[in-house]
Amino acid sequence: MKNVNSLLGGLGTTIFTVMSALAAQHQSINLGQGFPDTDGPPDLLEAAAAALFDGRNQYPPMPGVPELRQAVAAHDARFYGLDVDPMTEVVVTPGATEAITACLMALLDRGDEVVLIEPLYDTYLPVVRLLGAVPRLVRLMPPDWELPRTELATAFGPKTKAILLNTPMNPTGKVFTAPELAFIADLLVRHDAYAICDEVYEHLTFDGWRHIPLMSLPGLRERVMRIGSAGKTFSLTGWKVGYVTASAPLAQVVAKAHQNLTFTTAANLQRAVALGLAKDAAYFQGLAAHLQAKRDRLAAGLVALGMTVLPTRGSYFITARFPSARLQR
Ligand code: PMP
C-alpha cells in the first residue's frame, strides 16, 4: 500500500498521552499532563447542563455564539484595555489547539518562515511543517529562561511571516516581560511580520507577575492573533473551548480555516464559558492564588526529595532537576 502522510506517519504519540497512560498503568499520581485536580466553577457546570435543554443544540454560528464572542471582547477590554469588535474580531474554536492550527493556516504559505521559541508546546512544530513552512528555532536556557535577543533578531529575515509566542510559557513557567515584548514588537514591525500569541495561561500568573498581551503594545493591534482557552481559565480542560482575537481581516481568514477544520464548537459549552468570562475579579484572583499555593506545596515537596526546582512565574508547570544521588537506588 502507498505510504500515509510522511510527517504524521513518523510522528510519535504526544508525551502527555504517554505520561497519562503510564500513570494509569502504575496507579501513580499523574504530574505529567497539565490539568487541575478539581473541577471548574459549579455555576459553569450547571449553565452548560441547562443549556442542553433549551433547544439550541443544532450547529451554532461558525465563528461562535454571539454571547461568547461578546464576552471575549468584554474580557479583553476589561483586562487589557483592548477594543475588540465581537462580530468581526473574535473566532471561537474547539480549544486553543485548533485556534493555533487555524491561525497558522491563516498566515502561512509554503516556504514561509516561522520563528518559534523552544522549549515549545508539542503541536507547534508538526503543524508548521505540515503547512510546508520553515521553523526557525530559538532556545531559552535555564535557569533564567531569558530571551536571547541577538539570536532572536538573527532568526528574523526577509522570509519571516510570523512568530509563535507562548506567554505565560509551557513548560518553562516564564512570563515574558514588557521589555522583552517590546523587543519582539520592534522585530515584527521591522520585518513586517505577524505574531500568533498562545496566551492560554493568561490568568495563571504568580507572585505579582502580570500577563501582558503582545497585542496591547503600540502598533501591534493589526499584527497579532491572540489565543485564549476556557479550559485553562476555568479549570475545565476537557471542555475544549478556545478563542482567537484578531483584526477583522485576519479573523476572517482564521474563520475560513476553522470552517474547514471543525466549523463550530459545542454550543452549550460556549454559552457557559460566556458566563465564566464575565466573572468578577475575585474569581480570577482566586484561580491564580490557589494554583500558586499548589505550586509552592509541590515545589517544597520536590525540594524535600532532593530535587532542584526552578522558579515558576505562571502556567501549570514546574521545572525540576532529578540527578540528585538521593534518587538513585
Ligand atoms: N497551548 C498551550 C501552551 C498549552 O499548554 C495547551 C494545553 N496543554 C494548549 C495550548 C491547548 O489548549 P486547549 O486545551 O484549549 O486546546
pLDDT of 294: 96
Atom index in ligand 1 nearest the CA of residue 35 equals 8
pLDDT in tens, 130-189: 999 999 999 999 999 999 999 999 999 999 999 999 999 999 999 999 999 999 999 999
Atom index in ligand 1 nearest the CA of residue 98 equals 16
Atom index in ligand 1 nearest the CA of residue 242 equals 15
Whether the CB of 166 sits within 6 Å of ligand 1: yes
Q: How far apart are the first and last CA of the chain?
A: 48
pLDDT in tens, 114-135: 999 999 999 999 999 999 999 9
Tell me: cis bond preceding 36? Omega within 30 of 0 counts.
no
Question: Which residue do the cell numbers 461558525 mark?
Answer: 62
Domains of the chain, first to last = 43-277 (3.40.640.10)
200 alpha carbon – ligand 1 mean position (Å): 6
CB 131 within 8 Å of CB 151: no
Atom index in ligand 1 nearest the CA of residue 97 equals 16
Residue 285: which pLDDT band, with cuts at 50, 70 and 90?
very high
Tell me: cis bond preceding 66? Omega within 30 of 0 counts.
no
pLDDT of 30: 86
pTM flag (> 0.85): yes
Amino acid letter for position 122: D
Nearest to 229 by CA among 216, 215, 244, 214: 244
Question: Which residue do the cell numbers 505520561 mark?
Answer: 19
pLDDT of 183: 98
pLDDT in tens, 195-242: 999 999 999 999 999 999 999 999 999 999 999 999 999 999 999 999
Residue to mutate, 17, 125, 232, ligand 1, most ligand atoms under 8 Å from C-beta = 232
Whether the CB of 200 sits within 6 Å of ligand 1: yes
| Three-class DSSP labels, 196-253 | EEECCCCCCECCCCCCCCHHHCCCCCCCEEEEEEHHHHCCCCCCCCEEEECCHHHHHH
pLDDT of 16: 82
pLDDT in tens, 83-117: 999 999 999 999 999 999 999 999 999 999 999 99
Whether the CB of 173 sits within 6 Å of ligand 1: no
Residue to mutate, 229, 235, 273, ligand 1, most ligand atoms under 8 Å from C-beta = 229
